[in-house]
Amino acid sequence: MSSRASTRSLMAKSQNTKSVLGLKKVPNENLNRPPLSRKPSTTNLLRDTTNKVLGLKRKAETSNDENKVTKKRSAFGDLTNAFDKNKEAKKPLAQKERVLRNVTNNVLKAKTSKPVSRAPSFGKTKPKTATREEKAETSKSEEVKDISFCESLLSSQEPVLSSQESTKTDADANKTDLDDSAAYITASEGSPVPLKLQVELQVRQQPQLPEGVDDYDREMENDLYAVATYAQDIFKYYKEREGKFTISKYIDTQPEVSKSMRSILVDWMVEVQESFELNHETLYLAVKIVDLYLSRYIIKRDQLQLLGSTALFIACKFDERTPPYADDFLYICDDAYKRKELLSMEIKVLKVVGYDLGIPLSYRFLRRYARCAKVSMEDLTLTRFILEMSLMDYDLIDASDSALAAAALFFTRIIRGDPTWSPTLQYYSGYSMEDLYHLVHHLHNMILQPPKDHLKTIRNKYSHKVFFEVALIPIPENLNI
């Protein structure tokens, strides 16, 4: 489904949004503009004419030789930087090439060092010089002889050791199996590092988990995509960066923006995310960008939708593999803004946020907690619904994203009839039940409020079968915690 066809359903929503935010439709001046004509450059015409006269062809147009044998090679070459030198099958190719190069240089040096005797030509007859073809054949035959001679020397010589290896004493051979640094050579031929010792040190440096905590990273250490070795440090770094992106309450400083207008904007951004099939991280990042901008810069009412569209545009560039075009974001605004205005707003937003888009998101923390606790997909979807509803709540913009994700997951367990917070969740989230009480009560009051007619996008989204219809699950009126 194309982006233009998928966004036609947004037009009615866009009209409603503009009526509330006070936007006016601006005619698109680019529709009647004739297409730009691209003239071929003088250099290209001259090159094409020359090729036609001389009968030349480009490389792509030449016929491929079917009998030609191509040499296969890996995309990244040999990525191994350590090998066992005790086994002949694992001898590095660079060592053979080094020996071959040294022998070849010695042969060539011996040939060139011989004195050349030139007989003076006193006669009138000039000696016959060899043609170019004869010289080429002679040089080829000499190269073949030199290569065969070098290969014969290679097969008869002993393995050549580096300078560091040659200075080793016989006492090094009596070392234990733990210190097997002599069996490995680094790519830079520096001092080798014992591999077994590295592994043992890495195991010893892992933190000891409390009793009752599942070691999720140990279970996923063979999964390259889980990044189990660095996952704990990554989310620790995320929590440390939360203090850099704290958002203060800004409505009192915005003379033309209210809480309801912000809720309408976020609801519209959710619909854009669904229409373009964007990642959930893109939506959360875009809302964060909007709040950061509004907390530091005063904006007019008619520029609020442009800010939301630009925030989505920036977030798509940061998180999406194939982000939509700028014209797509202008189209979903019903061409109320020009391309120049969108790009100008993009520059302003990036300057205000300091070009730092690595913002810790509650959605990323939720994924981590759910995986470590092995939460079912239905419970995870219910938590996503609660967390996405919190995006429209202005009173939660100053809450910690990591704590908000933990509170949403705790609230889900309460809805499911299990008001407990396991040691695994407490360890990986860093929050106890007492730390989450106030956020859980706030989320509970938010979900119990009746939905408004113009803010139903998230509820309709999670009422679909794809999302297990979690928006239709009854919410208890009292929390038994």
pLDDT in tens, 12-61: 555 555 455 554 443 444 444 444 444 444 445 555 555 555 555 444 44
- What single string gives the DSSP state of each residue in 235-281? HHHHHHHGGGG-----GGG-TT--HHHHHHHHHHHHHHHHHHT--HH
CA 189 centroid distance within chain: 33
150-182 pLDDT tens trace = 556 555 555 444 444 444 445 444 444 444 444
Phi and psi at 315, nearest 5°, equal -65, -35
Grade residue 443 by pLDDT with cuts at 50, 70 and 90. Answer: very high
Nearest to 177 by CA among 200, 206, 202: 200
Instruction: Provide the pLDDT for residue 289.
Output: 97
> What pTM, to 2 d.p., does this model score?
0.61
Domains of the chain: 243-352 (1.10.472.10), 362-472 (1.10.472.10)
| Mean pLDDT score across all residues of the chain | 75
Name the strand (E) or helix (H) holding 54: helix 42-54
User: Residue 458 corresponds to which amino acid?
Assistant: I
Whose tokens are 């442009």? That residue is 306
Share of the chain above pLDDT 70, in %: 57
Q: Residue 316 and residue 379: Cα distance in Å, rounded? A: 27
SS3 84: strand
Q: Residue 359 and residue 397: Cα distance in Å, rounded? A: 14
Instruction: Provide the pLDDT for residue 447.
Output: 96
Mean pLDDT of 249-254: 95
Q: Give whole-number Cα distances, 358 to 295, 343, 364, in Å.
A: 18, 21, 12
CA 115 centroid distance within chain: 63
254-283 pLDDT tens trace = 999 999 999 999 999 999 999 999 999 999
Q: Give whole-number Cα distances, 241 to 103, 165, 348, 362, 368, in Å.
A: 59, 48, 23, 13, 17
The structure tokens listed for 398 are 């100053």
127-149 pLDDT tens trace = 455 566 665 666 666 665 656 65
430-440 pLDDT tens trace = 999 999 999 99
How many residues appear in the chain? Answer: 481
- More reliable by pLDDT, 72 or 144: 144
User: Residue 372 corresponds to which amino acid?
Assistant: C
Mean pLDDT of 400-408: 97
